[in-house]
């Protein structure tokens, strides 16, 4: 989780340095320090330590309870040869689970063979009346399937939030409610201060200003912030091999075009620069 947090933080900083605010935040933000941003920047390290400790504690409690339940419900009954209550519940509920599995498989088979028809490159819906009849008849079964899916969703959501509680770079709430997440809100304000005060382009510019004047060209910069800022100022040029391949391809295209259209030869730049261009033919001087 720590490595993922560092990687996400680095990606967010680079995106904000390049001006891609909407790639990080759900709404447009002005990357300027404010009172709230400064307060969040001061408390960010404390928040990170507290959330990390709390997340690890909750994970340990969940793992401990899970291992205890597995031991008393599965391992000990198997060693003693006694019946486990969990096995008894599963044994008594097998018709229920079998009904759900058969209903789900039946819906998938009907959707594949009866309600979808292949047309050229895409599938179209067919047998609409039968589709509505099947949906009406299987409504009670789908209610039971929905209850099981709802319980599974609660379990998955709880485990996901417990595992990612220590990460402040992601919100555990919906995009519209992420401002109610104090950890993520603090992280967003922290990013605003960091980007506004530690932009590598600005730092590289300041370092270049304070460098003493030299008559000779300066040596390549060694400062990491200066190098990063210069990389942001000067976009990366395409590789030499790629540029050469593009140039060769362009020349072949020009040659092919001239072979197919010989009349275009007189309109080329080299032909127009020739004194014999534009119909001025240099003939043999008469005696």
Domain boundaries, the chain: 2-196
138: which DSSP letter? T
Average pLDDT over residues 183-196: 89
Instruction: Flag whether pLDDT at 250 surpasses 70.
Output: yes
Q: Which residues pair with 116 in a beta bridge?
A: 125
Q: Name the 3-class secondary structure at 4.
A: helix
Residue with tokens 């008594």: 92
pLDDT in tens, 95-152: 899 999 999 999 999 998 888 887 777 888 888 899 999 999 999 999 999 999 999 9
pLDDT in tens, 147-188: 999 999 999 999 999 888 888 888 888 888 888 889 998 998
**How far is the C-alpha of 114 from the C-alpha of 247, rounded, in Å?**
55
Instruction: Take residue 82 and report the two structure tokens written for it.
Output: 């006694």
**How far is the C-alpha of 88 from the C-alpha of 69, rounded, in Å?**
16
Is the entire prediction scored with pTM above 0.85? no
> DSSP letters of 39-102?
HHHHHHHHHHHHHHHHHHHHHHHHHHHHHHHHIIIIIHHHHHTPPPHHHHHHHHTHHHHHHHHH
pLDDT in tens, 53-100: 999 999 999 999 999 988 888 888 888 777 777 778 878 888 899 999
With a CB cutoff of 8 Å and minimum separation 6, the contacts of 73 are: 84, 85, 86
What pLDDT is attached to residue 216? 52
């Amino acid at each position: 989780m720590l490595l993922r947090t560092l990687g996400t933080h680095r990606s967010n900083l680079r995106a904000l340095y390049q001006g891609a605010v909407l790639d990080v935040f759900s709404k447009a933000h002005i990357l300027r320090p404010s009172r709230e941003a400064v307060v969040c920047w001061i408390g960010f390290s404390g928040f990170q330590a507290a959330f990390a400790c709390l997340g690890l504690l909750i994970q340990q409690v969940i793992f401990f309870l899970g291992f205890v339940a597995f031991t008393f419900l599965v391992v000990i009954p198997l060693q003693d040869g006694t019946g486990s209550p969990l096995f008894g519940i599963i044994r008594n509920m097998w018709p229920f689970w079998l009904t759900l599995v058969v209903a789900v498989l039946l819906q998938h088979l009907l959707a594949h063979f009866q309600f979808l028809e292949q047309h050229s490159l895409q599938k179209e819906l067919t047998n609409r009346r039968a589709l509505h009849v099947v949906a009406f008849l299987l409504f009670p079964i789908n209610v039971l399937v929905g209850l099981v899916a709802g319980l599974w969703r609660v379990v998955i959501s709880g485990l996901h939030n417990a595992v990612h509680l220590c990460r402040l770079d992601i919100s555990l709430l919906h995009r519209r409610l992420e401002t109610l997440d104090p950890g993520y809100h603090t992280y967003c304000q922290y990013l605003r201060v960091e980007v506004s005060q530690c932009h590598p382009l600005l730092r590289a510019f300041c370092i270049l200003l304070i460098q003493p004047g030299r008559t000779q060209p300066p040596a390549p910069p060694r400062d990491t912030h200066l190098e990063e800022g210069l990389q942001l100022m000067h976009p990366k040029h395409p590789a030499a091999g790629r540029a050469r391949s593009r140039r060769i391809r362009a020349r072949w295209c020009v040659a092919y075009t001239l072979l197919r259209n010989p009349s275009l030869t007189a309109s080329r730049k080299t032909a127009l620069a020739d004194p014999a261009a534009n119909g001025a033919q240099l003939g043999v001087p008469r005696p």
